[in-house]
Amino acid sequence: MKRILIIYTGGTIGMVRTPNGYAPQRGYFRAALDAIPSLHMEGMPHWELFEMEPLLDSSNMTVAEWNKIAQLIAENYGRYDGFVVLHGTDTMAYTASALSFMLENLGKPVVLTGSQIPLCELRSDGRDNIITSILIAADERVHEVCLYFGGNLLRGNRATKYSADGLIAFVSPNYPALAEAGITIRYRKSALLAKPEGALRLQLLENVPIGVIKVFPGIQFELFESIMTEKLRGIVIETFGAGNIPGDGNALLPIIRRAFEGGTVLTVCSQCPQGAVSLGAYETSSALKQAGAVSGLDITTEAAVAKLYYLFSRGCDKETVKVEMERDLRGEMTV
Ligand code: ASP
């Protein structure tokens, strides 16, 4: 029988009502799982629960928690066939992206899931999300970090939270779903990553200073000069369309150039969820290219942030980070 480790980090799925709104509560979740009959039926893989301490609303997730989760998976890698990480939806796509980079040569499924409605409520979507995630975590076809939610299995570093209240809360705008769960779970074999050859290698992350800037009409780039210093190792800039910024770049160009000379790598992403950045396609993006910015192609902001953390934590110098940001490492971008 397959053995699955469920790592419960917090999030809506296990929250209870409190006078200040929903919040996680220690010791409650085990009983909540025991009350789901399907989790104890024949055909269900053997599962064990590990409750993290403290339980968090995922808005409070940090690099330290990513390290704890990745370490737990690495330490238990030989004992289990797959892992389910129960997590709040707000930053689930960031954690999924981070884990995908941290767990190099992952040969088993790591499935992140959660819910929009807590298990303590009548219409909770958590029950199906947990049951199906455990089944996916026991499937030998999956060798990657993925995110299951509302009937869709998505590559973790391609997913983004799309709805604050819908039960299909995540989308993967630039990569097909890895599987769809209807009456059966139908895997899209061609979309899944191949099984890696080498042994699992864990890369812990450091809390590298990283920034995200979203451009908007009328943005005064000069105001950002004080933060775009060598203190920031990486910046993700969310541009219009295919990588365009307002104006002719005159204001931004020297700022980026100075930041780059100081060691900061600037990665260009798009505010459009779908499609890719194409630096130099328009005059309005040429300045970014000339100043040494790299193209994030069709990567999500979540994955770009996680990738910057990963590359700097690996000890890469800025030139290597630039090269790697434009290379596909874990299926996070279409090159
Ligand atoms: N605020 C919650 C969290 O991210 C939302 C959720 O889980 O759906 O932990």
pLDDT at 280: 83
Residue 254's pLDDT band (boundaries 50, 70, 90)? confident
CB distance 14 to ligand 1 below 6 Å: no
- Give the per-residue SS3 of the chain: CCEEEEEEEECHHHEECCCCCCEECCCCHHHHHHCCHHHHCCCCCEEEEEEEEEEECHHHCCHHHHHHHHHHHHHCCCCCCEEEEECCCCCHHHHHHHHHHHEECCCCCEEEECCCCCCCCCCCCHHHHHHHHHHHHCCCCCCCEEEEECCEEEEHHHCEECCCCCCCCEECCCCCCCEEECCCEEECHHHCCCCCCCCCEECCCCCCCEEEEECCCCCCHHHHCCCCCCCCCEEEEEEECCCECCCCCCCHHHHHHHHHHCCCEEEEEECCCCCCCCCCCCHHHHHHHHCCCEECCCCCHHHHHHHHHHHHHCCCCHHHHHHHHCCCCCCCCCC
| pLDDT tens digits for range 135-151 | 999 999 999 999 999 99
pLDDT at 112: 98
| pLDDT tens digits for range 317-327 | 999 999 999 99
Residue 276's pLDDT band (boundaries 50, 70, 90)? very high
pLDDT at 66: 98
Say whether pLDDT at 249 is over 70. no
CB distance 57 to ligand 1 below 6 Å: yes
Active site residues: 12
Ligand 1 atom nearest residue 114's Cα: 7
Average pLDDT on 161-175 reads 97
Ligand 1 atom nearest residue 116's Cα: 8
pLDDT at 177: 98
Which burial class, exposed, middle or buried, applies to 282 when counting CB atoms under 10 A from its CB (0-12, 13-18, 19+)?
middle
pLDDT at 245: 87
CA 134/CA 3 separation, integer angstroms: 10
Task: Say what the pTM is.
Answer: 0.96
For ligand 1, mutation pick of 13, 58, 87 (most atoms within 8 Å of CB) = 58
pLDDT at 98: 98
pLDDT at 261: 84
pLDDT at 229: 79
Amino acid at 333: M
Task: Please state, rounded to an integer, the average pLDDT across all residues of the chain.
Answer: 94
CB distance 12 to ligand 1 below 6 Å: yes
Average pLDDT on 90-106 reads 98
For ligand 1, mutation pick of 59, 91, 161 (most atoms within 8 Å of CB) = 59
Average pLDDT on 222-251 reads 84
Say whether pLDDT at 40 is over 70. yes
Domains for the chain: give ranges and CATH numbers: 3-202 (3.40.50.1170), 210-325 (3.40.50.40)
Say whether pLDDT at 96 is over 70. yes
Say whether pLDDT at 335 is over 70. yes
Task: Return the closest-CA partner of residue 155 out of 103, 102, 107, 112.
Answer: 112
pLDDT at 225: 81
CB distance 59 to ligand 1 below 6 Å: yes
Q: 10 Å Cβ neighbour count for 312?
A: 22
Residue closest via CA to ligand 1's atom 1 equals 57
Say whether pLDDT at 248 is over 70. no
57 CA → ligand 1 middle, Å: 6
